[in-house]
Amino acid sequence: MKLFYILGFGCMLAGEAGAVTANMQFLADVAGAAGVFDFNVNGQVKRMFCDQFLPNATTSPYVANVSTLDNLTGSVLAADPQALFKYQRVAILVLRAMADPSLAADVVRANRRFVDGVGPLTPGAQALYDYALAANPASFDLSGFKIYTNFTTQELTSFDTGYVQLCKVAGAGITVGTNFTFDVAGTPLTLAAGPAPGGTCAQAVELRTGTRVIVETLPIGTRLSAVSVAPESRLVSTNLGAGTATVTVAIASLTTVTFIDSIPASNFTGFLQICKVAGAGVTLGAMSSFSVAGMTVNVPAGASPFGICAPAVEVPAGTTLITETPPPGTILSGVSTVPNGLLTNTNLSASTATLTVNAGTQTIVTFINTLVQSNPLTGFVQICKVAGLGVALGSEHNFQVTGPGAAAQNITVAAGAAPGGTCGGIVTVAAGITSIVESLPSGAALGAVSTLPNGLLVSSNFASGTATVTVNAGAQTIVTFQNTFIAPVNSAIDSPYQIRYVSNLNLGDSVINITNTGAEGAGLSGGTTAGTTGAFCANVYAFSPDEQMVSCCSCPVTPNGLVSLSARQDLISNTLTPAVPTSLVVKLLATKPVGGTCTGSAATATVANLSRGLAAWATTIHVGPAGPTSTETPFSAASLSTEGGNPGDIGELNRLTQLCSFINANGAGFGVCRSCRLGGLGSGRL
């Protein structure tokens, strides 16, 4: 997540050079985190921190000028010639908070003292203040630091960030599944080598923008033989002997870096691996024969986007000619290489490709065949979808494919695991430039687009989810979309996922009141069913203190409607097990109705149908010297993990739905809490 820090009130910048205006719309505060807010900055959710924020400053878009430290040279901050000095210290402390988010609150306090000279300092903030005061800015990389200045309110500061996804291919002599260790710009990572050409990919790592270095710890007897980067232009340099690659990290974008290791070849040879993709009309498993360096290599055609690869063969270093004998009735429609840039010539009609194999390295080449077409003026498009950061495997994504002079064709593709994802059906379009538009889910951002063969991507617009590609006559273009993240669901007060506890149920009842803010829309005609415009399903999960789910259920909540639950009468009156807890953890998850109903939604919720608009409050009983008392407070928005990152970790969303599904299937009616009732409830009798 990209972090912003709101500093003291009334800090004005004057005389910035080259400032750019940013329109930032306030979203909401984060419950339970004092001074933490979320903004929508040009379509991206950004977290900001501030100890005092004027609510009236958030009622309309926050329009700010954007400056860098370079812009502060020679300028003044509220007639203060120390502007550059102060914001260098701010930038240093923001780096500390990015490395350790638990420091954020004290960083805000220390930064306000730097900028305004006022504000209380906790012991932690004082230590950070002293640290930054004594620091030498030249010892830190402060590039990419941004200052967002609004004349009537605060300054916001940040470092730009992007994403890097590392993939590992088992090259010649390397066993698939062998673990390799990396340092990704300071982030340690262990990754198992996967089969060519895509390998195995780790979860994307968020890094500051700019030039970043990835270092592999090369095992004895192993050589880094190639590095491939997508987009190709972001590869700055490689040092194969040292196991390093330097890449560019772009703002809010994904850079995919693939390392290929092999057992070293001689100084006069390299390795060549041939892969085969079954294009339009070609049967999976259809055999092609390739002639290379006096050898014959047979490869069956595999599914898009990577196909099937034959074992690597050792060939003389230098220029290598490969000639394919394709299956009858098919033609060679495209060739690409990993790393990019090693393909020197192709002759599709002759089924040949000429490429470079460097000494001691490995080149992976992929051939795509299609059926010979009766219409020589058409080609094929196939869309593949990779589940990027925060995107659930299997979630469906909709695309419109528009070829030259034709109506749009609608395609739905399920997101699959990196690096190849899942590929949809093949569509026929007129040869030329084809436009593809993804209907981005709420909060999702397109982070990367690539093509196979390489070089057919004409343009892309991540904000609008669009890409234009070249489709050659009789050939096939495979286009892979990857979304880098879904905007956090834990940030707004009407977040889909919220949590609360209730206690001392042996002394009295606790109640939960739920409403719908209308964030997903509202119609003129009202209603109380899930089919009402803007309605969501309130999925309720109740846990005993020992983490056992004791009940779950769901009910529709319509815009401006009010429903309620009683802890005693609804949540613990029909528990899965005989034991009745006297305190609970209650989790609420808002999802969009499926088919106009909320029936069973607590057991079937997915990332794709999370809904905004949830606002909820609960009462609980406290016991003090004066006896029991009841208080009411809002539910707290919380982070919802959607997929596991380690063995045995399935993510909280999957845990909630699977436990509720178990209750529905095996509880014989027990564990299903009573549904909501219309209207609000007050606290129970003490």
- C-alpha 211/C-alpha 143 separation (Å) is 10
Q: Which CATH number fits domain 269-371: 2.10.110, 2.60.40, 3.40.50, 3.10.620?
A: 2.60.40
Domains 162-262 and 380-387+398-485 equal at CATH topology level = yes
- C-alpha 312/C-alpha 274 separation (Å) is 7
Q: What is the pLDDT of residues 424-464, one digit of tens each?
A: 999 999 999 999 999 987 667 788 899 999 889 999 888 78
Beta bridge partners of 513: 564, 617
The strands making up 396-402's β-sheet, listed across from edge to edge, are 409-414, 396-402, 432-438, 466-471, 457-461
Predicted local distance difference test score (pLDDT) of residue 491: 40
The strands making up 235-239's β-sheet, listed across from edge to edge, are 187-192, 179-184, 210-217, 244-249, 235-239
Its pTM surpasses 0.85: no
* Cα-Cα end-to-end distance for the chain: 44
Residue 126 C-beta-side C-alpha neighbours within 13 Å: 4
- C-alpha 574/C-alpha 582 separation (Å) is 14
Q: What is the pLDDT of residues 333-384, one digit of tens each?
A: 999 999 888 999 999 999 999 999 998 889 999 999 999 877 788 999 999 9
Task: Find out whether 599 and 580 touch, Cβ atoms under 8 Å.
Answer: no
* 380-387+398-485: CATH number: 2.60.40
Predicted local distance difference test score (pLDDT) of residue 484: 65
**Cβ atoms within 10 Å, residue 30:** 23
Predicted local distance difference test score (pLDDT) of residue 7: 40
Extract the residue ranges of the chain whose pLDDT is less than 70. Answer: 1-20, 25-60, 73-80, 101, 150-155, 265, 390, 442-443, 484-494, 642-649, 682-686
Candidates 560, 617, 563, 613; CA nearest to 590 is: 613
Fold of 162-262: Immunoglobulin-like (2.60.40)
Predicted local distance difference test score (pLDDT) of residue 5: 41
- C-alpha 439/C-alpha 348 separation (Å) is 35
Predicted local distance difference test score (pLDDT) of residue 194: 94
> Helix (H, G, I), strand (E, B), or coil: what is residue 450?
strand
The domains of the chain are located at 3-159, 162-262, 269-371, 380-387+398-485, 497-678
Exposed, middle or buried, 90 (CB in 10 Å: 0-12/13-18/19+)?
buried
Predicted local distance difference test score (pLDDT) of residue 443: 61
Task: Find out whether 201 and 153 touch, Cβ atoms under 8 Å.
Answer: no
Task: Find out whether 656 and 587 touch, Cβ atoms under 8 Å.
Answer: yes
